[in-house]
Amino acid sequence: MQLNEIVEKLKQGQSGVVDFKISNNTVILAAASLEKAKENEISFLDNNSSLNLRNFIKTSKAAALLLPADDDFIIEITKQISIDWILLKDPKIAFAETLEFLYPSEIESEGIHKSAVIGENVKIGLGVSIGANAYIGDNTEIGAGTIVHAGVVVYKNVSIGAKNLIHANSVIHSGSKLGDECVINANAVIGGEGFGFVPTSRGWKKMPQVGIVILKDKVEVGSGSTIDRPSVGETLIGEDTKIDNLVQIGHGVTTGKGCAMAAQVGIAGGAQIGDAVILAGQVGVSNKVKVGDRVIASSKTGIISNIEAGKVISGFPAIPNKLWLRCSANFKKLPEIAKAIRHLDRRNSR
C-alpha cells in the first residue's frame, strides 16, 4: 500500500490528520517500532513521548512516520528530515488504524469442522466457524459471524452473541451469556463455579453456585483468565471492559463499562467496580468492596475498602497515589528514622 493511500484512509478514521509531506510515496509493506523500522516500513511517535524517543526520529530509517501535530520540537525536526511524515492529533490511533490497513484480519469462517461435536437443539448463526474438536453443549445459541477455535468447550444452555472470537481451549460454562463482539482468549474459563464454602462441624459445606456470568458487548477476556458464577444472581462484566491474562473475577462481581484490568488482577466475590476503572497488574480487590467510577489503581494495589470515584490509588492498603509515593520514599529511610529517634531519645533523657 502506498503512503498516499494510507493518508486517504486515515482521513476517514479517528486520528485527526493535520498535515503531511509525501515526496517519496514509498510502498509501505510493514509497520515497526521507531527503533527498528527500516525501508518500506512505517512507524509512529506517540504524543508526549520522552526526549530520548523524540530524538530517534532524526535518525530513523523508516519510510514514513506518524507524528504528533501539537509538538513544536517535532515540527522543527520534520523540516530537516527526508522521510515522509503525517502530522496527527492522535498518532497512536493512526498507527492502530494503519496496522488494520496493512494486516487485515483474515476472515476465518470455515464452517463447522467435521471433528467438532455439536449437541442437540443448538442454534448456529450465519457464517459461524467452529474449529476442530470443539464441543458445543445442548440448547446453546451462537450468533452470526462468531468464530469458535479448536478445542473450545461450551457447556449447555449458553448464549453467545454475534461476531465473537473465542480462542482455542477456552471453556464457557452452562448458562453464560455473551453479548456481541466479545473476545475470549485461549484457555480462559467463563462461568466456573464460585468459591463458596460454609464452615460446619463436619467440614466445608458447598454453597451451590446456581447464578450465571454475563459479558456485555465488546468485553475481552485474556488468556487463562477466570470469571466465576455466583450462588444466585449474576456476575456481570460491563460493555467494552477489557481484561488481560490470568485475571480472576470472583462470583457476583459487577463491573461497569470501559474498564481495563491488567494481568494477574484479582477481584474477590461481590465487589462492585464502576465505569472506566483502571486496575494495573497484580491489583487485588477485597470481597464486596465498591470501587467508584474512573478510579485508577497502580500495580500491586490492595483495595480493601470502598474507594470514591475518580481517585488515583496505590499501596496496600490502598491510599492516594501521591501520598503513597511520599510514604514509600520515607519507607526507605526507616532505619535512619529509627536511629534518629534513639538518638533524640538519648539526648532528651540525659
80-109 residues near a second copy, rule: CB under 8 A: 90, 92-93, 95-96, 99-100, 102-103, 105
Nearer CB in complex with a second copy: 76/298: 298
Least separation in angstroms between CB 155 and a second copy: 7
C-alpha 326/C-alpha 321 separation (Å) is 9
CA distances from residue 233 to 209, 224, 337 in whole angstroms, order as listed? 9, 24, 52
The one-letter code for the residue type at 77 is I
Q: Which of 300, 311, 312, 321 binds a second copy (CB under 8 A)?
A: 300
Nearer CB in complex with a second copy: 23/29: 29
172, 191 in Cβ contact below 8 A? yes
Q: Which of 141, 281, 292, 296 binds a second copy (CB under 8 A)?
A: 281
**38 scored as a contact of a second copy (CB under 8 A):** no
Nearer CB in complex with a second copy: 23/336: 336
Q: Which of 7, 186, 309, 312 binds a second copy (CB under 8 A)?
A: 186
**326 scored as a contact of a second copy (CB under 8 A):** yes
Q: Which of 22, 112, 263, 309 binds a second copy (CB under 8 A)?
A: 263
C-alpha 97/C-alpha 11 separation (Å) is 11
**122 scored as a contact of a second copy (CB under 8 A):** no
Binding mask 129-168 for a second copy (x = CB under 8 A): --xxx-x-------------xxx-x-x-----------xx
* Residue 35: all three cell numbers together: 527503533
State the catalytic residue, choosing from 149, 167, 173, 251.
251
Least separation in angstroms between CB 115 and a second copy: 5
| Residue among 145, 168, 143 nearest 158 (CA) | 143
Cis check: omega of the bond before 317, within 30 degrees of 0 = yes
Q: Which of residues 46-85 bind a second copy (CB under 8 A)?
A: none
**16 scored as a contact of a second copy (CB under 8 A):** no
Q: Which of 27, 29, 107, 327 binds a second copy (CB under 8 A)?
A: 327
**14 scored as a contact of a second copy (CB under 8 A):** yes
**266 scored as a contact of a second copy (CB under 8 A):** yes
Nearer CB in complex with a second copy: 127/281: 281
First to last CA, the chain: 83
Interface with a second copy (CB under 8 A), residue total 107
Q: Which of 48, 52, 76, 335 binds a second copy (CB under 8 A)?
A: 335
The sheet with strand 242-243 has its strands ordered as 129-130, 147-148, 165-166, 183-184, 220-221, 242-243, 260-261, 278-279, 296-297, 312-314, 319-320
Q: Which of 25, 169, 293, 294 binds a second copy (CB under 8 A)?
A: 169
**175 scored as a contact of a second copy (CB under 8 A):** no
Q: Which of 27, 29, 38, 331 binds a second copy (CB under 8 A)?
A: 331
Q: Which of 33, 55, 121, 306 binds a second copy (CB under 8 A)?
A: 33
Nearer CB in complex with a second copy: 52/82: 52
Q: Is 251 in the active site?
A: yes
**218 scored as a contact of a second copy (CB under 8 A):** yes
Active centre residues (catalytic): 251
